Structure 1
Amino acid sequence: MSAALPVAEAAWAREGEVWKSQAAYTADLVVTPNGSGRAWALDNLDLTGDLDLDALAGLRDAVFHAGLLINTGGQPDAALGTVEGLDNIEVTRPRTRLFEAWLQQDFGAGRGSVRAGLYDLNSEFYATAASDQLIHPAFGIGTELSATGSAGPSIFPSTALAVRLRWEDERKRYVQAAIIDAKAGTLGDPGGVDLGFAQGALGVVQVGGGDRSRWAVGAWRYGFERDDTGTPRARGIYGLFERDLTSDHGRGITLFVRGGASAGRAPIAVSLQAGATKGGVWASRPDSRLSVGFHYAKARGDGSEVGFEAAYADKIAPRTTLQPGLQLVAAPGGRSIAIASLRLIVEAW
């Protein structure tokens, strides 16, 4: 099962005229008391950098972005066997990967941009900031889309070649579209980057807008298949909504609801996620944050899955965050899974 958003972004960047970089290390301890009880340790090192091509070579409004992932550790979902996964930094192949490498050119006084290269679909599509603290993969990207493709779509931990176009108006309404190789694979994966689009392409379009209330709707479809190894003719739609209940983004409550449906050969027919996050839980702890979420997925055949997650995070040092969490999952076959987790995030620089 593909994961979604891997880690919170590092808050510190090494600034310069030409280059800036970020690094964040995330480690999870996952324990289940079911049966005799089991424990897994897994981690993710995220290294990113941005090169200002204007300052370097005079290419106005152009930037090159690259990101490297290093993942090791256990596989709780591989052992427990859920529909949607359990931890958004779990990988099936622990290794080092070139996660992103794209060039972006802005135009129209910064309202428009085009990106091309190895691209994380979930960085801009089917994403809600209010759910990004939760570690369950479904809160990053809906399962009806993340379960497609022979190796998942172009999301964590393996991306694919893509071209993305975006335009935003003065009222923060936007439209964005991407054409992505249907076979995810990057440097560090077996076979490397697919240059031939052998399994066709995935097309995604999303429109949205808003400030205090943010909304988006999107549609996706696989096409131009040359073989039958992915999810040919799979297609779907989704919608997102977030609402800040107060004007204080850092300390207020934000609600979110997301959902999508698929057709064709996509293995998951429907998924739904909803929940809330609260910043500044304690007046004396401005960096504290509490998030809760509900998720549901219905497989195209028999079986559905329902789950709940609660997570509390706080900084214990200027660059170090500790986040305990709890998940309860009702998996197919009448199985009940309880998961306790402890996430450590270190912003290395």
Structure 2
Amino acid sequence: MVVALTLSGFTAPALTAQAPARTRRAVTGEPAGVRLELGYAADAFLPARGGLSREVVALDNLDLLLHLNLDVLLGVKETSVRVHVQSNRGSSVRARVGDLQGVSNIEAPREWRLYEAWIEHNIVPRRLSILAGVYDVNAEFDVIPAAGDFLNSSFGFGPEYSLSGEGGPSAYPLTSFAARLKARPVPALYALLGVSDGAVAVAERSRFALGDGEGALISFEAGYTRPMPGAIPVLDEPLSRVRRGRGQGIGRQLRRSRRWRIGRGRIVERVHTKVALGGWAYTRSFEAWDADASPGKSWGFYLLGERLLHEDPNGTGGLSAFARVGTAADAVNRLNLYVGGGLVYFGALPGRPDDVAGLGIAYARNGSAFLRALRAAAIPTERAETVLELTYKAQLGELFVLEPNLQWVMNPGMDPGVANALVFGLRGHVLLEFPSRRRGA
């Protein structure tokens, strides 16, 4: 389950015109110079059929975040800082199910870790920004807002991308140094360019070591987004100067459009429409699966999209659909194709506008070169793993969310010796913020 706290700011008598800007912001509800967040999520899973065992598995994720607005604190214009620390505990779901894609998207090594620590500067406000530091590439790249309420990892980060290279990119749970440039020439269009460590999870080196010949990962994405009707558009800045809802209805609608991404420490806005094309490439070469082939480059492309298909008459819910296709270089990567998609209904039950129901499918396919290598070694394997997920996210009050979940994993791990698995799950989560961004909703 996940737990979060929110501490409200204070109110005070009317301010004089001479009051310092930072004081006016603190009292009137404009962005404070400091914001703290605490998010806690806990999962319990039971492989009821198939897989490797019938044990109940429990695991959790704790996020501690500090946001600093240097404009307010130090007068450094259009600059912000984030420091994000994580802790994970519990057992492995994958070890009981035997799957590849990841039944739980919070499964991670049992440890405390520095997850993100970066500084961002808006070169041109709301148009061009640069970020540098310890950074999760998947915080902004390859994000489908409507898919964020599913528990399987593939709905949050395409597996052909997340399992690429040697240990994967700089993303949950292991991150490293990166730099990102973001442009938004007009409100509806954006472009991202990132450069990150090319070997984050290599055991023989520190995650924060640079200049050791491991190369870099280049990521790019360009897309179109259309906000939800009535929502106030923002440039996904943690401390963006957004005027709070012009009337209660818009405030409530904007709050309902926000989805907390567990393990990412980021609130993602629901959108009416999003279409994006992205790609990635490592600068170094990797050993090929075919013994006689020369080392090759690891690269890939993906196309994703989502759209609101039906909006409830009261404007607080509706049905959205999403889809994603990704491909990766066959010669050096295990997976060469991923296809996923689903339907999500916000406000699924009468009188419960904040609840979310979702049905999704995730298909990950082994590459031909990988299959040839295993068959040459007389290791039996299946072509692909497919997951069907049914989930319901129930909002219980302002802070707590409970999410029962069901996943049917076909060909777990592409291992013919592992039976198809039926997995029951339950997640609870909470988010606490100080000062609260729920104020005025």
Q: TM-score surpassing 0.5?
A: yes
**Pair 158,242 (structure 1): closer, same or farther in 2 beyond 3 Å:** same
Deviations 1:21-58 (A, max 9, x none): 11110000000112662210000011112101111221
Query: Does structure 1 residue 284 correspond to structure 2 residue 299?
Result: no
Question: What is the CA–CA distance in structure 2 between the aligned matches of 1:85 and 1:162, rounded to whole Å?
Answer: 25
Question: What is the CA–CA distance in structure 2 between the aligned matches of 1:323 and 1:203, rounded to whole Å?
Answer: 35
Query: Does structure 1 residue 320 correspond to structure 2 residue 400?
Result: yes
AA at the equivalent of 2:217: L
Decide which moves more: 258-267 or 97-106: 258-267
Tell me the CA shift for residue 108 of structure 1.
1.8
Query: Does structure 1 residue 42 correspond to structure 2 residue 59?
Result: yes
AA at the equivalent of 2:142: Y
Query: Does structure 1 residue 271 correspond to structure 2 residue 338?
Result: yes
Tell me the CA shift for residue 317 of structure 1.
3.1
Deviations 1:66-99 (A, max 9, x none): 11111000101023322212110111x2000110
Correspondent of 1:261 among 298, 303, 327? 327
SS in structure 1 at match of 2:320: strand
Higher helix share: 2
Query: Does structure 1 residue 305 correspond to structure 2 residue 409?
Result: no
Structure with more relative contact order (C-alpha pairs < 8 Å, separation 6 or more) = 2
Counterpart position of 1:151? 167
CA contact (8 A) 2:2 2:431 kept: no
> Considering only CA atoms, is the larger Rg found in Structure 1 or Structure 2?
2
CA contact (8 A) 2:311 2:317 kept: no
What does 1:199-214 correspond to in 2, within 5 Å?
Answer: 199-211=214-226, 212-214=272-274
Counterpart position of 2:431? 347
Question: What is the CA–CA distance in structure 2 between the aligned matches of 1:104 and 1:14, rounded to whole Å?
Answer: 26
Correspondent of 1:218 among 267, 273, 278? 278
Counterpart position of 2:127? 111
Deviations 1:179-229 (A, max 9, x none): 10112259xx9735122253110001100013132100011100046x869
What percent identity do the matched residue pairs reach?
29
SS in structure 1 at match of 2:353: coil
Decide which moves more: 31-40 or 142-151: 31-40
Counterpart position of 2:380? none
Tell me the CA shift for residue 165 of structure 1.
0.3
Deviations 1:227-255 (A, max 9, x none): 869x9611000001100113567411110
Counterpart position of 1:243? 307
CA contact (8 A) 2:118 2:134 kept: yes
Question: What is the CA–CA distance in structure 2 between the aligned matches of 1:326 and 1:222, rounded to whole Å?
Answer: 36
Cα-Cα RMSD:
2.5
CA contact (8 A) 1:67 1:99 kept: yes
Counterpart position of 2:118? 102
Tell me the CA shift for residue 11 of structure 1.
8.7
Correspondent of 1:59 among 76, 90, 104? 76
Question: What is the CA–CA distance in structure 1 between the aligned matches of 2:3 and 2:223, rounded to whole Å?
Answer: 23
TM-score (norm. length: structure 1): 0.90
Decide which moves more: 331-340 or 115-124: 331-340
**Pair 11,256 (structure 1): closer, same or farther in 2 beyond 3 Å:** farther
Question: What is the CA–CA distance in structure 2 between the aligned matches of 1:313 and 1:160, rounded to whole Å?
Answer: 32
What does 1:150-189 correspond to in 2, within 5 Å?
Answer: 150-184=166-200
**Pair 200,14 (structure 1): closer, same or farther in 2 beyond 3 Å:** farther
Correspondent of 2:90 among 73, 85, 96? 73
SS in structure 2 at match of 1:87: coil
Question: What is the CA–CA distance in structure 2 between the aligned matches of 1:54 and 1:8, rounded to whole Å?
Answer: 32
Question: What is the CA–CA distance in structure 1 between the aligned matches of 2:163 and 2:79, rounded to whole Å?
Answer: 33
Question: What is the CA–CA distance in structure 2 between the aligned matches of 1:232 and 1:73, rounded to whole Å?
Answer: 37
Structure 2: state its 5+ residue gaps. Answer: 10-25, 27-31, 227-271, 289-294, 372-382, 434-441
Tell me the CA shift for residue 118 of structure 1.
0.6
CA contact (8 A) 1:260 1:271 kept: yes
What is the count of residue pairs matched by the alignment? 338
CA contact (8 A) 1:13 1:22 kept: no
Query: Does structure 1 residue 30 correspond to structure 2 residue 45?
Result: yes
Question: What is the CA–CA distance in structure 2 between the aligned matches of 1:13 and 1:110, rounded to whole Å?
Answer: 28
TM-score (norm. length: structure 2): 0.72
AA at the equivalent of 2:102: G
CA contact (8 A) 1:8 1:133 kept: no
Question: What is the CA–CA distance in structure 1 between the aligned matches of 2:198 and 2:98, rounded to whole Å?
Answer: 25
